[in-house]
Amino acid sequence: MEANDYQQKQEPKLFYTETYGCQMNINDSERLAGQLKTIGYEETENVDKADLILLNTCCVRESAEKKIHGRIGEMKRRKLVNPNLIIGVVGCLAQKDKEKILTKFPHVNLVMGTHNTHRLLEVIAQAEQSREPVLAVWDQAERLAPDVPTVRKGQISAWVPIMYGCNNFCTYCIVPYVRGRERSRPLADIVAEIRQLGAEGFKEVTLLGQNVNSYGKDSGSSTDFAELLQAVDQIEPIARIRYMTSHPRDMNDKVIETIKNSKKICEHFHLPVQSGNNDILGRMNRGYTTEYYHRLVEHIRQLIPGASVTTDLIVGFPGESEEHIIETLNFIKTIRYDAAYTFLYSQRSGTPAADYPDQVPVAEKKARLNQLMEIQNEISLQINKQLVGTSVEVLVEGPSKNDETKLMGRTRTNKIVLWAKAGAEKPGDLVNVQIATAQTWVLKGCLV
């Protein structure tokens, strides 16, 4: 046996993943890792050591797509160093562009879509054997793809999908085209996964779906989202439950009441409004008006005082005028969000809005985004300042990424809190922190 062969036999194969996009993709990467571990692959953080590189991609905005194209291109030179390297492009961009990726990047060995995630091992085996590029992109999802093993990145907080896909077809959005129709996971599977997480020491679970409020509707199941929340609220020793994303149109009293009466479901409502103008909302196909939305938030705040409300906003949707954006600015001043994620509208070919007339010039979009962020940042700061002097319950996550001397955690309302480690507090503990200073995106304080 050659020394080389010996080495190949002894050393486990290494894989490296890079994940773009939303939490759903992060969880998919955990499920890719889970499958690879079953055939002896180990994960590496060092891309230069990898035998297999998987880029798990997003295409929700052009900016994401461009960045990923750059990254796929860069991978080419690694093939020169390691001709056996397998490079895979998976996830939403793979689902959207399919063989176009292979044409543009001949050094890619496999392209696998979102509906094939659970079949990774077959695709890898094919790529290893054939050395011809493998295209594995099903057009449709299986009604219920079987669960696969998951290897999680964190130890405190875990993502748990409750449904896949989206039926809403907001006119700007590519997600329904790359993630397929809504499929709800059976309640028993979700509960079993969360029980297992509790047994493994996880303290927080985030239930994932593009529109969690429509849980169960596709399967004719008797369990709706509120009942799912009631069931998972019982699972010890999980301390906190979050969910994302909930569509404002489908948020209802039963869900709000459930959250109010629950122990673990956090008082944080992420309700993407997208625009503060009814004409734009109509053309986005969002299915609600600003008046409805305003009443919804008032109702939540009345029932659950202290709840935080956050949102997503898109500026520069086709046909958005100066008047429209002024209405949006006034709307965010009225609602007073704890935080908002703001995006420049990005034309996604294949979606209806991409062909709408009156696309807004980029410079104009950027100017509007700046205006919006300036106003929202001030509001976030004012709201956060009201917490100065109070004591908040924080779930300890670990050292702060930017400041190793500080610990980081979140309030139930999903605000980030930093403090200097004071005692024996460790990741997973619930502690109380007295807030001393407030910024737009962080609170700082001392352990009580």
Enumerate the known binding-site residues. 22, 58, 92, 166, 170, 173
Task: Report the DSSP beta bridge partners of residue 110.
Answer: 88, 134
HSE-up (13 A, CA, CB side) for residue 65: 16
User: Which residue stretch of 3-11, 22-30, 79-87, 320-328 sits at the interface with ligand F3S (rule: CB under 6 A)?
Assistant: 22-30
Q: What is the full DSSP assignment across 162-205? A: SEE------TT--HHHHH-S-EEPPHHHHHHHHHHHHHTT--EE
**Which of ligand F3S, ligand SAH, ligand SF4, none does residue 176 bind (CB under 5 to 8 Å by kind)?**
ligand SF4
- The answer to whether the CB of 315 falls within 8 A of the CB of 61 is no
**b/e per residue 249-264 (b: at least 16 CB within 10 A):** bbbeeebbebbeebeb
**Interface with ligand F3S (CB under 6 A), residue from 24, 112, 228, 339:** 24
- Is the separation of the CB atoms in 404 and 391 below 8 Å? no
Q: Which does 169 bind (CB under 5 to 8 A by kind): ligand F3S, ligand SAH, ligand SF4, none?
A: ligand SF4
| Minimum distance, C-beta of residue 247 to ligand SF4, in the bound complex (Å) | 5
**What is the nearest approach in angstroms of ligand F3S to the Cβ of residue 309?**
21
Tell me the C-alpha to C-alpha distance, in Å, between residue 264 and each of 126, 237, 322: 45, 10, 43
Tell whether omega for the bond before 352 is within 30 degrees of 0, i.e. cis: no
Of 30-38, 171-179, 326-334, 394-402, which part binds ligand SF4 (CB under 6 A)?
Answer: 171-179
Residue 365 corresponds to which tokens in the numbers above?
């979009």
**Contact status, residue 68 vs residue 96, Cβ threshold 8 Å:** no
Given ligand F3S, ligand SF4, ligand SAH, none, residue 92, with its beta carbon under 5 to 8 Å by kind, binds ligand F3S
Does residue 173 touch ligand SF4 according to CB under 6 A?
yes
**Interface region with ligand F3S, contact rule CB under 6 A, candidates 56-64, 230-238, 312-320, 437-445:** 56-64
Q: Shortest distance, CB of residue 321 to ligand SF4, whole angstroms?
A: 22
Query: Residue 108, interface with ligand F3S (CB under 6 A)?
Result: no
Helix, strand, coil content of the chain in percent (nearest 5)? 40, 20, 40
19 binds, among ligand F3S, ligand SF4, ligand SAH, none (CB under 5 to 8 A by kind): none
Minimal distance, residue 248 CB to ligand SF4, in Å: 10
CB of 238 to ligand SF4, least distance (A): 26
Min separation Cβ 71 and ligand F3S, Å: 15
Cβ burial, residue 356 (10 Å; 0-12/13-18/19+): middle
| Site size for ligand SF4 (CB under 6 A) | 10
* Residue 179 lies near ligand F3S (rule: CB under 6 A): yes
**Site residues (CB under 6 A) for ligand SF4, limited to 400-419:** none
Q: How far is the CB of 129 from ligand SAH (least distance, A)?
A: 37
When asked if residue 210 is in the footprint of ligand SF4 (CB under 6 A), the reply is yes
Chain centre distance of CA 240: 18
Residue pair 443/409 in contact (Cβ under 8 Å)? The answer is no
Count of other CB atoms within 10 angstroms of residue 304: 16
Q: Phi and psi (nearest 5°) for 295? A: -65, -40
Backbone angles phi, psi at 269, to 5 degrees: -115, 110
271 binds ligand F3S (CB under 6 A): no
CA proximity to 225, closest of 251, 248, 249, 204: 251
Give the footprint of ligand SAH on this chain (CB under 6 A): 60-61, 172-173, 175, 210-211, 245, 247, 272, 274, 312, 314, 343, 345-346, 348
Among 247, 410, 412, 415, binds ligand SF4 (CB under 6 A): 247
Please give the residue ranges that form the binding site for ligand SF4 (CB under 6 A). 166, 168-170, 173, 175-176, 210-211, 247
Which residues form the interface with ligand F3S (CB under 6 A)? Answer: 21-22, 24-25, 58-60, 92, 174-175, 178-179
